Amino acid sequence: MAEGQKHLLLVDDESALREAIAERLADHGFLVEQADSGEQALQRLTDFAFDILITDLRLPGIDGGKVIDAALERYPEIIAIVITGYGTVKDAVEAIKQGAADFITKPFQFDALLHVLRSALEQRRLKSENAYLRSQLEDRYRIDGLVGRSRVMRELFQLLETVAATSSTVLITGETGTGKELAARAIHHNSPRRANRFVALNCSAIPETLLEAELFGHVRGAFTGAVGTRQGRLEQAHKGTLFLDEVATMSPALQAKLLRVLQEREFERVGDSHTVKIDVRVIAATHSDLARMVADGSFREDLFYRLNVIPVQLPPLRERREDIPLLVQHFLQKLSAESGRSSVTISQDALRRLMAHPWPGNIRQLENAIERALAFSQGRSQIDVQDLTADIQQETPASDSSDVWFPDEGLDLARHIDGIELALIRRSLERTHGNKRQAAKLLNLKRTTLIEKLKRLEPHAVAAKLP
């Protein structure tokens, strides 16, 4: 069979019409089989996975509607086209509701049938491509909670997938709120260790006197309050992954003990002389500059090199602003579902303010901002500027071309210039306390020109009284 040929089952009890149609379809490259009844059609469908089903609705015995139902149940991707008489158009519409692609009414010209058939094939092709593209976008722009379409994030996804296949120690660095634990979990969940535990320990959240026991475990009587033997995080992570967050806060003594674990793959619980063997992958993370800490003597150089086998640097949000719309959509979907609300959108104006904000708290801060905005929207279906915090409301799009970030798919220049123009108009209005005549003078424009620009760029802005 040539590339692209489709197997077609034609079902009609009028033999002369059926054979004539089958011959014409074969001339157009279709591989046609015929059935003269619903029972025969069901047998053909049982034996073979056809690409296309064309069936009359009125058939002796089992009717065409039941044939379509059986075909779609067995082959959800089959294209079903209904042939119907004038009196059964209602039934044909019902068949389409059940999954048929289209119908054609008798009597018909062959070219009309061919048009319906080709249209259905094109629709199915587009549907398949869209489904493929959606899956590609999900794979490309998301990995275990990390979201982004910028070049740096796509490179990060590729790195995480590569790292996951190894058992090497990883050091994840990045500012607070960039998603270091999410990256660690992504590595674990895509690794051969995924069936075993991912154990996280925040070294900065536990007092130094208790951190050693939390990491290595202890035996009964090892210290005051140790009423029994307890496994530490290292043992809990055996065969899996141990994530040490904020590893830079470890004391020099604990750094030395962690170094021995990485070298020897063994340790002793606090208060015990028995050696415990472990098989664990260590992923460490910090927002500190460990190389600088090594230089000033506050972090062990040998431990740094043991941890930094594979370095992973997470970019701050301000360096990937093009990801903000995708992140906002992600958080809106997540938070709306958690609160039991229907889908919520965000206005373009609010989104522009979010994209102009510096985000010192990175992804965590953005998620908190969306959660707050969702609460302040009070059940409305769209978040607007007034739902954002005061500092974000005051943001305006950057007007300096040196501060422009370029998405890989390119920049919409006209839209960007409109944003700059609107930002300047807003600033002039803020400076003149909303007086459009004075604002126009600041911009060397006529008042009417300023108003026309506002009507074009931000229609609702001229709804108020025009001073």
Contact 102, 82 (CB under 8 A): yes
Q: What is the pLDDT of residue 427?
A: 77
DSSP assignment of 199-219, as one string? Answer: EEEETTSS-HHHHHHHHHEE-
- Residue whose C-alpha is closest to residue 183's, from 139, 250, 232, 245: 245
Tokens of 443: 């911009």
Cβ–Cβ under 8 Å, residues 224 and 263: no
The rounded distance, in Å, linking the Cα atoms of 244 and 286 is 9
- Rounded Cα distance, 250 and 258, in Å: 10
Q: Which amino acid, 246? A: E
Counting other chains too, the contacts that 335-338 makes at CB distance below 8 Å and 24 or more residues apart are 335/367, 335/370, 335/371, 335/374, 336/374
Q: Are the beta carbons of 353 and 389 closer than 8 angstroms? A: no
What per-residue confidence (pLDDT) applies to 119? 87
424 by Cβ neighbours in 10 Å (0-12 / 13-18 / 19+) ranks as middle
Q: For tokens 């990491």, what's the residue?
A: 215
Question: How far is it, in rounded angstroms, from Cα 395 to Cα 349?
Answer: 11
| Sign (positive or negative) of CA dihedral 338, 343, 348, 350 | negative
Side-chain half-sphere of 153: how many Cα atoms within 13 Å?
Answer: 27
Residue 60's nearest CA partner among 90, 37, 93 is: 37
Q: So what's the pLDDT on residue 1?
A: 38
Ordered domains of the chain (ranges, CATH): 7-134 (3.40.50.2300), 149-315 (3.40.50.300), 318-393 (1.10.8.60), 401-462 (1.10.10.60)
The pLDDT of residue 2: 43
Angle, alpha carbons 273-258-219 (nearest 5°): 30
DSSP class of 35: E
**Cα–Cα distance, 229 to 117 (Å, whole number):** 73
pTM as predicted: 0.57
* Burial (CB count <10 Å: 0-12, 13-18, 19+), residue 63: middle
pLDDT given at position 412? 66
248-252: long-range contacts at Cβ-Cβ below 8 A with a sequence spacing of 24 or more? 248/286, 248/288, 248/290, 248/293, 248/299, 249/203, 249/204, 250/203, 250/211, 251/208, 251/211, 252/300
Please compute, for residue 442, the number of CA atoms within 13 A of its CA located in the half-sphere on the CB side: 16
Token pair recorded at residue 206: 């536990």
Q: What is the model's pLDDT at position 133?
A: 44
Which residue in this structure is represented by tokens 């900065």?
Answer: 204
Type of residue at 133: L
Residue 67, Cβ neighbours under 10 Å: how many? 29
- Torsion sign, CA atoms 11, 14, 15, 18: negative
Question: Strand 142-143 to strand 146-147: parallel, antiparallel, or no bridges (unpaired)?
Answer: antiparallel
Q: What is the DSSP string of 305-357?
A: HHHTTEEEEPPPGGG-GGGHHHHHHHHHHHHHHHHTPPP-EE-HHHHHHHHHS
Taking the C-alpha atoms of residue 187 and residue 398, their distance in angstroms, rounded to an integer, is 36
Give, for all 467 residues of the chain, the pLDDT tens digit.
344 578 899 999 889 989 999 999 999 889 899 999 999 999 888 777 788 999 988 888 888 888 988 888 777 778 899 888 766 667 777 778 778 888 888 888 899 899 989 888 888 777 655 544 444 444 445 566 788 878 889 899 999 999 999 999 999 999 999 999 999 999 999 999 999 999 999 999 998 888 988 999 888 776 777 767 788 899 999 999 999 999 999 999 999 999 999 999 999 888 888 899 999 999 999 999 999 999 999 999 999 999 999 999 999 998 888 888 889 888 998 898 888 887 788 887 788 888 889 999 999 999 999 999 999 988 888 899 899 999 898 886 544 444 454 555 566 677 768 777 887 888 788 778 788 888 898 888 988 898 888 888 775 444 444 44
